[in-house]
Chain A
């Protein structure tokens, strides 16, 4: 029975001591310990969060980089294309101009040739005419030495000539 009977003296000691312990530990142990644990947890939390944020930033930076790279590549391609176009244009234009010039030269050459040819032909014609006249003169001189033959000729000429 004594075993389950609370003892007043011990109860007084226990209550006083335990309450003092509770107050002292609360003030000098539990409060700092719990605050520090909480602070550390918060700092770990925020560190993790900021790391996550940094990762996110890195990822966005990377995608930005890729975007910039793609853009640069695209721009380069465009520039190349433009350059090619420009080259083609220039070459084409140059070709056209050259052809035109060549044509012009050719045309003028042809014209000159034509002119020369015409001049030569005219000259030839004049020479031939002169020669023919000379030949004809000489032939006539010989033929017309005989009277009969003069009459025949005049007759032939008159036959051909139609009076109109």
Chain B
């Protein structure tokens, strides 16, 4: 029987894991670099108000035009990347550390310690993050710090639950028992036996969570709860451009596209990593 070899279709080729892995890492890496180098790359001061050049078309001086206050959109986008990515990393790292600590403790010690910590986690999980943010903002006033703290307080629970499960499965394995018999301290067991074995899932979840963190920061800023003007942040930029949606939609489109690209990259990267390591994603 002669079956003609079918050319792989575009979608199949796009889902080539290797390509996605390299492409997304390259894009995100480049973005992190530009964010770091924003002061040197940005053509203008992102905060410089110059009403003489407000709402300009793209030109050689203003590659992406200007906003209603005459500020350079490209410069603001570049500086906005610093806020979005930087604080996403901050939220990720801090909630990861809290989650790792609590989850590992609960899973490793077990018993009533586990029960106590997990019931506490259930309590936190039952509390919607938006309400928490609104509450914090209500008390301390709007600002990035409040948003970050609120997101941190909510995010760590997911890490904690995941690490607890992973550690509990590992703890049943005899190599942990063998390590105890071999005289390894609990700290050494955590360092050499538990951590290397929970690293792959950690990487996957971390990548997926980064996308969420960026989305959350932008959403809060868009609602006016997070970053306050004149600071540049993608969500806040969409908020500022909102009034000009009919005349100058690009003011919303540029930051919107950036948010979309970054989150899509993080998600695709997470997906391909999870496939590579054979890790199942936790339900969110």
Chains A and B come from one and the same complex: no
Interface on A for B, CB 8 Å cutoff?
Answer: none
Interface on B for A, CB 8 Å cutoff?
Answer: none
